[in-house]
A and B are shown apart, each in its own frame.
Chain A
Amino acid sequence: MTKSTVLLLSLLLAASAGLSLCLGSFPTPPLEVLGALTAPQNSDITFIIWELRLPRIALAILVGAALAMAGAILQSIVRNPLASPDVIGITSGAALAAVLFLALLSTHFSLHWLPFAAMLGALISALLVISLSWKNGINPSRLVLVGIGLAAATGAGTTLLIVISDDAAAMTAYVWLTGSLYAAQWKDVEGILPWLLVPVPICLAFARHADAMALGDSVAEGLGVPILRSRMILLACSVALAGAAVAFAGGLSFVGLIAPHLAARLVGRNMARLVPASALVGALIVLYADLLGRVAFLPKDLPAGIFVAGIGAPFFVYLLHRTRRQR
């Protein structure tokens, strides 16, 4: 049943990508899209499909998948359903670094370096959260609390920077913070790809460890899980995935929180299934959020982050409400 769920999600994603290819400020009939895909010509349609829509769709899928997997891993290793890369400060660290770059360094360096700045920010904040919550190893609840605190602090820093920087930089920073796939190019897709290709096999290899740790530290220890090492490796995978997504698409919040929950409803909490299912659900969410942003308010092209948050925020409240009722 779960295998067919994953297959179904894959088919849905493929169909959605196809739909997304046809829609835009210049709607294209499916047959023409197919023609441009199979036999590219030196035409406007070929350009629109190959250079504008296809890389953007590919980036949306990769970013959504990365954020969702980062969230799925994080939620399982800290045993907290409310954990996600944006809740525990990884995303906000990346955002602060990115805004810092836009406000202070963008006159000296090309914007191509922005992803690296964001990735560095994600890494630094992850290291900060881990070292500040360290106490004979990683204590999951301390990790979440310290992360929330750090997210608040870096958020304040980001706001301060936007307020004091000039209008143009502030505007760019603002759009980046919302999370946008506008003007995505093939080189972005190539840039993010290694950040998925490395962590995904590693975290699948450690899926059993994550399942065991979900039973609690002492049970996992009794089963022979090297807890500290496994948790560090999985955490590193989560940071790499989240950092990469944020670096290439900005502060798309809530995908990392919602997608794993939706996926868990479909396939259960078994990590070997949850990770691929989350990736597909996350990809679908970002793909549709971006499609809405592209076509719903034509001729305006709105950041996908608006739509993700629009659905994500109420879902977060619902989740909090449900956890409260359980107690």
Chain B
Amino acid sequence: MSPPVTDLSDQQPRLTGKALSAGYETRPVLKGVDIAIAQGKLTVLLGPNGSGKSTLLKTLARTLKPSAGHVYLDGKDIHHSNTRDVAKRLGILPQGPIAPEGLTVKQLVGMGRFPHQTLWRQNTKQDAEAIREAMAYTNVTEFADRNVDALSGGQRQRCWIAMVLAQKTDLILLDEPTTFLDLKVQVDLLELLSRLAHEHGRTLLLVLHDLNLAAAYADHLVMMCDGRIVTSGPPSEIFTAANLKRVFDLEARVLHDPESGSPVCVPRKQPASGLAPIQ
């Protein structure tokens, strides 16, 4: 891992999106989004289903071409850059990746070295070192020779994260990395990811579903609704009952954890008589 860095917040953002519109087929999802990903921070995209948070992440990751607007990585349009060069600086983990049958953990993590390898230069010392470090950091070293498909959901997700770490990129984008996992496993993964930002100076962008986990672990929250960014900022400022109502149409109270001070939302229970019809 790179040496610990204390604060990168004054640094220029390296990944930015300008006036992004994107979508699938005829359905536009993003409608002119501007975003700059803060350096060395853990940023979380939050929003209801269909709000465009995954679409925004995919567009920033270059897997989806915008219909209008540009994504810039280090000042260059990412969709017109050499994809291998981009992969040396930006790693992505899509939602719910599936490992092929019979692939071992070490082989999977080793795939993260792809952008650094050429036909003539494979399995160098650097490769071996990056793979070892990534496996150690994510605690999967003991499974190195096991098949990925034989592991539990949380272990498997740690292996995929190890693959992205072996890529040794400063920027890492993850699409719903904690979905379908137990709460404890989600917390462990988010601890691991926030350490990456805070202790190793990596810049992370995550799509998360769980509001309270997002509020607890994000340095910076971006709330999206209907293809637009509604509001963004630190959770202490924007994770409010009014914003949750605006973005999620959720009636909730926001309390504060007495220990950490981070905001927590508690849904308001509807009175028994006023049951809303099930949609």
Contact = CB atoms under 8 A, between A and B. Distances in A.
Nearest to B95: A218
A247 B232 CA distance: 63
Give the interface residue-count category, chain B. 20 to 34
Interface string A153-194: 000000000000000000000000000000000000000000
A181 to B, nearest CB: 33
A221 B64 CA distance: 10
Interface string A208-226: 1001101111110111111
Nearest to B103: A269
Contact of B111 (A211, A221, A269): A211
B87 A222 contact: yes
Contacts of B164: 222
Interface string A17-50: 0000000000000000000000000000000000
Given A215-B97, A216-B97, A221 B117 contact: no
A205 interface: yes
B61 to A, nearest CB: 7
A226 B112 CA distance: 15
A221 B102 CA distance: 22
Nearest to A216: B97
B114 A225 contact: yes
B96 to A, nearest CB: 9
Contact of A222 (B61, B103, B107): B61
A310 interface: no
A302 B185 CA distance: 61
Given A222-B63, A223-B87, A223-B167, A216 B115 contact: no
Given A215-B99, A215-B100, A224 B94 contact: no
A1 B119 CA distance: 23
A306 interface: no
A226 B86 CA distance: 12
B98 A221 contact: no
B111 A215 contact: yes
Interface residues of A, number: 21
Interface in A69-87: 79
B245 interface: no
Contacts of A223: 87, 111-112, 114-115, 167
Contacts of B87: 222-224
Interface string B119-138: 10010000000000000000
B86 A224 contact: yes
Contacts of B119: 205
B84 A216 contact: no
A236 interface: no
B12 to A, nearest CB: 23
Nearest to A226: B83
10 contacts: A208-B114, A208-B122, A215-B97, A215-B98, A215-B99, A219-B93, A222-B61, A224-B87, A224-B88, A226-B83
Given A223-B115, A226-B83, A268-B102, 10 more contacts: A211-B111, A214-B103, A215-B97, A215-B99, A215-B108, A215-B111, A222-B92, A223-B111, A224-B86, A225-B83
